[in-house]
Structure 1
Amino acid sequence: MGSRDAGIKVEGQRELRKTLRAAGDDLEDLKAAHKAAAEIAAGGSRPLAPVRSGDLAGTIRAGGTKTSAVIRAGKKAVPYAGPIHWGWAARGIEPHPFLADGAQRTEPQWVELFYQALDKALKKVKGK
């Protein structure tokens, strides 16, 4: 018997493919959970943004993908969000990590929401 004839048989291969496809589909469900979690964190960050004109807080927004939740601040008209958040030692700008602090302060809410969504997705994959 040659190496080509070794013959490995996988039992349940059809069910495995179906489960993996379902798991991939359920990742799409997590996109909404990531967005919702990011919305909570963004909401917690807005009041923490340093205020001079109020423009910076108005640029805080949430996003979600299959694999991550993201909060962003700044835009072309408000390019200073990064230096305000992270600081810029060469320019004497102290860091004010309002996005990170807002996410941390709201962590219990968005973590619970995410775990519920993940549990729901896993139950669908398991067929329950």
Structure 2
Amino acid sequence: MKFQVRVEGHKELRKAIRDTKDKGLARGLRQAHKETAALVVPPARADAPKQSGSLAASVAPSSSVNGAVVRAGSAKGRTKFYAGPIHFGWPRRGIKPHAFLFRAAYAMREQYATRFRELISALMRDNIES
């Protein structure tokens, strides 16, 4: 089970950027992914179950040229192995799912779609006009 967002034309955009061999464009795309994923972090942290607060603190964006994800469970080298069972549940242990990452991503879908569109438009405008 996962929550994914597909961007129409994204594969072609990545290929075009790769074909230009322009590292600045690739960095810009990666940064756009990271900024977009960062929009999901605050609501995910707010919705994460809090006993000590370390699970909420471990929610962070991660990106590459291919896309972005919001991860929970590893922060500053300290892995929170319980992040998966808390998010997805573990029926055998009586742990009910608390899909805080999926809920945050769903709630922010319009904001990150708009922001990603703005960032990609700015990236293309700045690099095509130069």
Q: With structure 2 as the length reference, what TM-score do the two structures score?
A: 0.72
Following superposition of structure 1 onto structure 2, how do residues 43-58 of structure 1 map, counting pairs within 5 Å?
A: 43-58=42-57
- How far residue 86 of structure 1 moved from its aligned partner, in angstroms, is 0.8
- Mapped to 2, the partners of 1:67 and 1:117 lie a distance apart of 15
2:38 alignment partner in structure 1: 39
SS of the equivalent of 1:96 reads coil
Residue 88 of structure 1: aligned partner: 90
TM-superposed CA distance for 1:47, in Å, is 0.5
For the pair shown, the structure with the greater C-alpha radius of gyration is 1
Match of 1:108 among 103, 107, 110: 110
3-state SS, counterpart of residue 71 of structure 1: strand
The 3-state SS of whatever aligns with 1:66 is coil
Aligned position for 2:60: 61
1:74 aligns with 2:73: yes
Structure 1 stretches of 5 or more lacking a match?
1-16
Identity %: 32
What do you get for the CA RMSD once the two structures are aligned?
2.5
- The Cα shift of 1:20 comes to 3.6
Aligned to 1:30: 29
Distance in 2 separating the partners of 1:22 and 1:108: 31
Distance verdict in 2 for CA 1:43–1:122, change over 3 Å: same
- Equivalent position amino acid for 2:73 in 1: G
Higher normalized helix content (fraction of residues):
1
Give the aligned partner of residue 11 of structure 1.
none
| Greater relative contact order (CA < 8 Å, ≥ 6 in sequence) | 1
CA distance in 1, matches of 2:82, 2:21: 43
Distance 1:47 1:122 in 2: 34
TM-score between both structures, scaled by the size of structure 1: 0.73
Structure 2 residues without counterparts, runs of 5 or longer: 1-15
Which aligned segments of 4 or more residues in structure 1 are displaced greater than 6 angstroms?
A: none
1:23, 1:125 within 8 Å by CA — same for their partners in 2?
no
Identify the residue that residue 118 of structure 1 maps to in structure 2: 120
**Residues 63 and 70, structure 1, Cα contact 8 Å, conserved in 2:** yes
